[in-house]
Chain A
Amino acid sequence: MTSPTTSPPHIVAGFTVPRVMFQVLLALVPVAAVQAYLHGPRLLWLIAVAGATALACEALALRLRQRSARPHLRDGSVLVTAALLVLAVPPTLPWWLVAFGTAVAVLIAKHAYGGLGQNPFNPAMVGYAVLLVSFPLDMTSWPTPGAEWDAVTGATALDTLRTSLRQSYTMQEIFAGPAFGHVGGAGSEWINGGALAGGLYLLARRVIRWQIPVAVLAGIAVPAMLAHGLDPGAHAGTAFHLASGATMLGAFFIATDPVSAATTDRGRLIYGAGIGMLTWIIRSWGGFPDGVAFAVLIMNLAVPLIDRYTVPRIYGHPRK
Chain B
Amino acid sequence: MSRHRGLQLESHKAQPFEQPLLVAPPPRVATMALDQGSGEEAEAVVEPGHSVRVGTVIALGRGAAAGLHSPVSGIVRDIGLRPTVRGTGRCIVIESDGHDEREAGMAPLDWRAKDSTALLECIGAAGVAGLGGAAFPTAAKLELARSTGAELLLLNGAECEPWICCDDALLREQSAAVVLGAQVMLAACGARHCIIAVEDDKPQAIASLESALSSAGDARLEVTVLPAVFPLGAEGPLVAAVTGREVPHDGLPPQVGVVCQNVGTAAAVARLVCEGLPVVSRIVTVTGSGILRPANVQAHIGTPLADLVAACGGYLGSQHTLIAGGSLTGRALTSDAVPVTKGLNCLLVATPADLPARGAEMPCIRCGDCAGVCPAGLLPQQLHVAAQADDAAALTRFGLAACIECGCCDYVCPSAIPLTARFRAARERQQLRERERRRATDARARHERHQRRLHEQAAAERQAFDEARRRARGVDQTGD
| C-alpha gap A311/B379 in the complex (Å) | 8
Contact indicator A258/B420 (Cβ below 8 Å): no
Total residues of chain A contacting the partner, CB 8 A: 44
Identify the closest chain B residue to A77 (Cβ).
B365
Selecting from A3-11, A42-50, A81-89, A122-130, the interface stretch reads: A3-11
Q: B111 at the A/B interface (Cβ < 8 Å)?
A: no
A170 interfacial contact with B, CB 8 Å: no
Assess whether A316 is in contact with B246, with CB atoms less than 8 Å apart.
Answer: yes
Given the known interface contacts A1-B336, A5-B332, A16-B359, the answer about A264 and B371 at a Cβ–Cβ threshold of 8 Å is yes
Q: Are A263 and B381 in contact (CB under 8 A)?
A: yes
On whether A263 and B359 interact (CB within 8 A), knowing A3-B321, A17-B415, the answer reads: no
Cβ B365 vs Cβ A17 within 8 A:
yes
Do B402 and A10 touch (CB < 8 A)? Answer: no
Residues of chain B contacted by A75 (CB below 8 angstroms) = 362
Is there an interface contact between B420 and A10, defined as CB atoms closer than 8 Å?
A: no
- Interface presence of A320 (CB below 8 A): no
The SS class assigned to the A binding surface is loop
User: Mask for B343-372, Cβ within 8 A of A = 1, else 0?
Assistant: 000000010001110111011111111011
| Alpha-carbon distance between A77 and B365 when the two chains are bound, in angstroms | 10
Please report the C-alpha to C-alpha distance between residue A4 and residue B334 in the assembled complex, in whole angstroms: 7
Q: Which of the 9-residue segments A110-118, A160-168, A229-237 touches chain B?
A: A110-118
Whether, in the assembled complex, B148 has its beta carbon less than 8 Å from a beta carbon of chain A, the answer is: no
Report the minimum CB–CB distance from A16 to chain B (whole Å): 5
Complex contact A317–B399 (CB within 8 A): yes
State whether the Cβ of B240 lies closer than 8 Å to any Cβ in chain A.
yes
Q: Within 8 Å of chain B (Cβ to Cβ): is A20? A: yes
Cβ 8 A contact of A71, one of B321, B362, B366: B362
Cβ contacts under 8 Å, B358 to chain A: 12
A12–B248 CB distance below 8 A = no
Residues on the B chain within 8 Å of A116, using CB: 362-363, 365
Whether B328 contacts A8 by the Cβ 8 Å rule is yes
**Complex: chain B residue closest to A317, CB-CB:** B249
Complex alpha-carbon distance, A72 and B415, angstroms:
11
Q: Contacts A6-B321, A8-B328, A10-B323 given: A316-B236 contact, CB under 8 Å?
A: yes
Query: Is A312 in contact with chain B by the CB < 8 A criterion?
Result: yes
Q: Are A263 and B236 in contact (CB under 8 A)?
A: no
Known A10-B327, A10-B332: A118·B363 in contact at CB below 8 Å: yes
Does A315 make an interface contact (CB < 8 A)? Answer: yes
Q: Which of B325, B378, B421 contacts A314 (CB 8 A)?
A: B378
| Contact across chains for B418 and A11 when beta carbons are under 8 A apart | no
CB of A62 to closest CB in B, whole Å: 12
Q: Decide if A259 touches B360 in the complex (CB within 8 Å).
A: no
Complex interface bits, A1-39 against B, C-beta within 8 A gives 1, otherwise 0: 111111111111111110110000000000000000000
Given A3-B320, A15-B414, check contact A10 B350 (CB 8 Å): yes
A158 is an interface residue with CB less than 8 A from chain B: no
1/0 per residue, CB under 8 A from B, across A290-316: the answer is: 000000000000000001000111111
> In the bound complex, what is the Cα–Cα distance between A60 and B217 (angstroms)?
75
Interface of B is mostly: loop
Select from chain A the residue with minimum beta-carbon distance to B398: A311
**B28 on the A face (CB < 8 A):** no
Number of B positions contacting A (CB below 8 A) = 65
Asked if A316 contacts B247 (CB within 8 A), the reply is yes
Q: Check A10–B366 contact: CB distance below 8 A.
A: no
Complex Cα spacing A77 to B411, Å: 21
Flag if B362 contacts A259 (CB, 8 Å).
Answer: no
Instruction: Tell me which of B355, B411, B418 contacts A13 (CB under 8 A).
Output: B411
Least Cβ–Cβ distance between B246 and chain A, in angstroms: 5
Q: Is the CB of B367 within 8 A of A312?
A: no
Residues of B within 8 A of A14 (CB): 356
Does B365 contact A117, Cβ atoms closer than 8 Å?
yes
Q: How far is the CA of A11 from the CA of B42 in the complex (A)?
A: 33
Verify if B407 is at the interface (C-beta below 8 Å from A). yes
**Is B366 a contact of A259 with CB atoms below 8 Å?**
yes
Chain B nearest CB from A72 CB (Å) reads 8
Interface centre among B399, B414, B421, by most chain A C-beta atoms within 10 angstroms, is B414
B91 contacts the other chain (CB 8 A) = no
A311 vs chain B, min Cβ distance (A): 7
- Determine whether B329 belongs to the interface, using a CB cutoff of 8 Å to chain A: yes
By beta carbon, the residue of chain A nearest B407 is A9
Chain A residues with Cβ below 8 Å from B414 are: 15-17, 19-20
Residue of B nearest to A267 (CB): B368
Q: For residue A296, give the distance in angstroms from its CB to the closest CB of chain B.
A: 15
Residues of A within 8 A of B378 (CB): 314
- Within B288-335, the residues touching A (CB, 8 Å) are 320-323, 325, 327-335
Collect the chain B residues with CB atoms within 8 Å of residue A6's CB.
Answer: 321, 332, 355
Residues of A within 8 A of B108 (CB): none
The 6 closest A-B pairs by CB, nearest first: A9-B407, A316-B249, A5-B332, A117-B363, A314-B399, A9-B328
Could you name 13 residue pairs across A and B whose Cβ atoms are closer than 8 Å? A6-B332, A7-B332, A8-B332, A8-B405, A8-B407, A9-B407, A12-B411, A16-B416, A20-B414, A77-B365, A116-B365, A117-B364, A316-B376
